[in-house]
A and B are shown apart, each in its own frame.
Chain A
């Protein structure tokens, strides 16, 4: 089955969502790129950070 890696699935998901949001929220090419990259970094980085945070509270 495709995408056994949850990390890859999450990264691709973050990439697609940030692309759509950047085209919705910004009008010119440069600000779209900047907004998209920031959104992607927040989503992907935030998920990894949150994952490690949950690791601290494993039973």
Chain B
């Protein structure tokens, strides 16, 4: 009786071992998609409601942040505290990459809304990390 579950586990193990790398690769692909465009990782897995909500909320946060004159920080060592903002901002995926080539998210310190705008952009980036990890979990089968 004691050997039965163990035998079943050993029987399943090669199957699991075969599926696992495929699921991991799919998970990583979904995570990258979710990072690049908020909610795209969920859309690709037919989680349309979640994908729409994530895209709507995070795109609104980023757009508001930019409209409020917030800044997307590049990696710079002159001011070490901005390195934290940089790590939050890279969560915005394609927008962050675009901001390195076109003049968006330069920030306007004179505006009273500068701090809030920057917080909106950084908040959207941090939340998008969670959204991308959620897309990974769904693809890997650890979440429905």
Contacts and interface: CB of A to CB of B under 8 A. Distances in A.
Interface of A: 1-4, 6, 9-10, 12-13, 16-17, 19-21, 23-24, 27
B112 A20 contact: no
Given A12-B64, A13-B61, A27-B144, A20 B54 contact: yes
A13 to B, nearest CB: 6
Contacts of B127: 17, 20-21
Contacts of B89: none
B116 interface: yes
Given A3-B64, A3-B113, A9-B113, 13 more contacts: A1-B69, A2-B68, A3-B68, A4-B112, A9-B68, A9-B116, A13-B61, A16-B60, A16-B61, A17-B127, A20-B127, A23-B54, A24-B134
Contacts of B94: none
Contact of B119 (A1, A4, A13): A13
A21 B53 CA distance: 11
Interface centre among B58, B111, B116, B130 (most CB of A within 10 A): B116
Interface residues of B, number: 23
Contacts of B58: 20
Interface string B100-142: 0000000000011100100110010001001100100000000
Main secondary structure of the interface of B (DSSP, over half): helix
Nearest to A8: B116
A3 B116 contact: yes
B84 interface: no
B113 A16 contact: no
21 contacts: A1-B69, A1-B111, A1-B112, A1-B113, A2-B67, A3-B113, A4-B112, A9-B113, A9-B116, A9-B120, A12-B64, A13-B120, A16-B57, A16-B60, A17-B123, A19-B53, A20-B53, A20-B58, A21-B127, A23-B53, A24-B134
A57 to B, nearest CB: 20
